[in-house]
Amino acid sequence: MDELLQEFLTETNEGLGYLDVELVKLEQNPNDPDILSNIFRLMHTIKGTCGFLGLPRLEAVAHAGENVLGKVRDGDVEVTPGLVSIVLECLDRIRLILGALEETEAEPVGDDSELIARLETVAEGWDAEQLTQPVASDALETGSDAPSEEAASVPTAEDSAADETVSEVDPEQADEDVPVELAEIEATEENIVEMVQPGEEVVAVVSNDGAGGGQPPAPEMEAGDQGQPRESSVANQSIRVNVELLENLMTMVSELVLNRNQLLQILRTHKDSDFAAPLQRLNHVVSELQEGVMKTRMQPIGNAWAKLPRIVRDLSQDMHKKIDLQMKGADTELDRQVLELIKDPLTHMVRNSADHGLETTEGRRAAGKPETGTIVLNAYHEGGHIIIQITDDGRGLNTDKIKEKALANGLTTEAELANMNEQQIMQFIFKPGFSTAQEVTSVSGRGVGMDVVRSNIEKIGGNVELTSKYGKGTSFTIKIPLTLAIVSALIVESASERFAIPQLAVIELVRASANSDHSIERINDTPVLRLRNRLLPLVNLSELLKLEREDDESEKDQFIVVAKVGTYSFGIIVDRVFDTEEIVVKPVAPILRDITLFSGNTILGDGSVVMILDPNGIAGETGELTVTEGMEGMAEQKAAKSDDTVAMLLFKAGSEAPKAVPLGLVARLEEIDRETIETSGGQPVVQYRGQLMPLITMDSHQALEGTGRQQVLVFTDRNRSMGLVVDSILDIVEEPLNIELGGEHQGYIGSATIAGKATDIIDTGYFLTQAYSDWFQADGKLEGDSASNRILLVDDSPFFRNLLAPLLSSAGYNVTSVEGADAALELCEAGEDFDVILSDIEMPGMSGFEFAAAVRANRWSETPLVALSGHASPNDFARGRAAGFSDYVTKFDRAGLLASLNETLSNMRGAA
Partner 1 sequence: MNDLERMKSGLMEAEGAKEFVTFYIGDQLFGIHVLQVQDILSNVRTTRIPLAPPEITGSLNLRGRIVTAINVRLRIGLPPLEGAQSGMSIVVDHHGELYSLMVDSVGEVMPLQSEDFERSPPTISPRLKEYSEGIYRLKDRLLVVLNIERLLDFGRASAA
In the complex with partner 1, which residue's Cβ is closer, 34 or 606? 606
In the complex with partner 1, which residue's Cβ is closer, 548 or 555? 548
In the complex with partner 1, which residue's Cβ is closer, 496 or 676? 496
Q: Tell me how far apart the alpha carbons of residues 688 and 714 are, in angstroms, rounded to a whole number.
A: 10
Q: Tell me how far apart the alpha carbons of residues 190 and 648 are, in angstroms, rounded to a whole number.
A: 82
From the CB of 586, what's the least distance to partner 1, in Å?
6
Q: Which strands, in side-by-side order, build the sheet including 486-494?
A: 576-584, 486-494, 497-502, 609-613, 598-603
130 contact partners, CB below 8 Å, separation of at least 6: 82
From the CB of 544, what's the least distance to partner 1, in Å?
8
In the complex with partner 1, which residue's Cβ is closer, 589 or 911? 589
Which helix (H) or strand (E) is 283 found in, with range?
helix 276-297
From the CB of 593, what's the least distance to partner 1, in Å?
9
One-letter-per-residue 3-state SS of 603-620: ECCCCCEEEEECHHHHHH
Q: Tell me how far apart the alpha carbons of residues 775 and 688 are, in angstroms, rounded to a whole number.
A: 18
In the complex with partner 1, which residue's Cβ is closer, 121 or 259? 259
Specify which residues 298 forms β-bridges with.
Answer: 335
Q: Which strands, in side-by-side order, build the sheet including 506-512?
A: 506-512, 558-565, 568-574, 534-540, 526-531, 520-523
From the CB of 589, what's the least distance to partner 1, in Å?
4
In the complex with partner 1, which residue's Cβ is closer, 252 or 635? 252
Q: Tell me how far apart the alpha carbons of residues 585 and 300 are, in angstroms, rounded to a whole number.
A: 23
From the CB of 497, what's the least distance to partner 1, in Å?
6
Backbone φ/ψ region at 718: left (φ over 0), alpha (ψ -120 to 50), beta: left
From the CB of 19, what's the least distance to partner 1, in Å?
41
Q: Are 578 and 491 in contact (CB under 8 A)?
A: yes
Residues within the interface to partner 1 (CB under 8 A)? 255, 258-259, 497-498, 545-547, 586, 589-592, 595, 597-598, 601-603, 607-611
Kindly state the DSSP code that residue 586 receives in the 8-state scheme.
B
Nearest of 381, 110, 89, 95 to residue 210 by alpha carbon? 89
In the complex with partner 1, which residue's Cβ is closer, 151 or 597? 597
Q: Beta 757-762 vs 385-392: how paired, if at all?
A: unpaired
From the CB of 608, what's the least distance to partner 1, in Å?
6
Query: How far is C-alpha 868 from the chain's CA centre?
Result: 40
Environment class of residue 735 by beta-carbon count within 10 Å: exposed (0-12), middle (13-18) or buried (19+)?
middle
Type of residue at 3? E
Number of residues in the chain: 912
In the complex with partner 1, which residue's Cβ is closer, 48 or 617? 617
In the complex with partner 1, which residue's Cβ is closer, 255 or 785? 255
421 contact partners, CB below 8 Å, separation of at least 6: 630, 633, 634, 637, 798, 819
From the CB of 410, what's the least distance to partner 1, in Å?
33
From the CB of 617, what's the least distance to partner 1, in Å?
11
**Three-class DSSP category at 758:** strand
In the complex with partner 1, which residue's Cβ is closer, 499 or 570? 499
Nearest of 891, 845, 641, 665 to residue 753 by alpha carbon? 641
In the complex with partner 1, which residue's Cβ is closer, 542 or 770? 542
912 contact partners, CB below 8 Å, separation of at least 6: none
In the complex with partner 1, which residue's Cβ is closer, 258 or 650? 258
Q: Are 485 and 461 in contact (CB under 8 A)?
A: no
From the CB of 495, what's the least distance to partner 1, in Å?
9
In the complex with partner 1, which residue's Cβ is closer, 251 or 513? 251
Which helix (H) or strand (E) is 852 found in, with range?
helix 848-857
Which helix (H) or strand (E) is 469 found in, with range?
strand 463-469
From the CB of 602, what's the least distance to partner 1, in Å?
8
From the CB of 545, what's the least distance to partner 1, in Å?
3
In the complex with partner 1, which residue's Cβ is closer, 623 or 831? 623
From the CB of 606, what's the least distance to partner 1, in Å?
10
Q: Tell me how far apart the alpha carbons of residues 377 and 393 are, in angstroms, rounded to a whole number.
A: 12
Kindly state the DSSP code that residue 832 receives in the 8-state scheme.
-
In the complex with partner 1, which residue's Cβ is closer, 191 or 262? 262
The stretches of 622-728 forming alpha helices (DSSP H) are 631-641
Query: How far is C-alpha 312 from the chain's CA centre?
Result: 20
Phi first, then psi: give them for residue 799, nearest 5 degrees: -60, -50
In the complex with partner 1, which residue's Cβ is closer, 302 or 605? 605
Q: Are 332 and 380 in contact (CB under 8 A)?
A: yes
383 contact partners, CB below 8 Å, separation of at least 6: none
Specify which residues 683 forms β-bridges with.
Answer: 680
From the CB of 496, what's the least distance to partner 1, in Å?
9
From the CB of 487, what's the least distance to partner 1, in Å?
16
Q: Are 761 and 770 in contact (CB under 8 A)?
A: no
Nearest of 577, 398, 420 to residue 490 by alpha carbon? 577
Task: Using alpha carbons only, give the angle 396, 400, 405 rounded to the nearest 5 degrees.
Answer: 105
In the complex with partner 1, which residue's Cβ is closer, 16 or 489? 489
In the complex with partner 1, which residue's Cβ is closer, 97 or 597? 597
Q: Would you state the torsion angle of the CA atoms of residues 675, 679, 680, 682, taken in this order, to the nearest 10 degrees?
A: 160
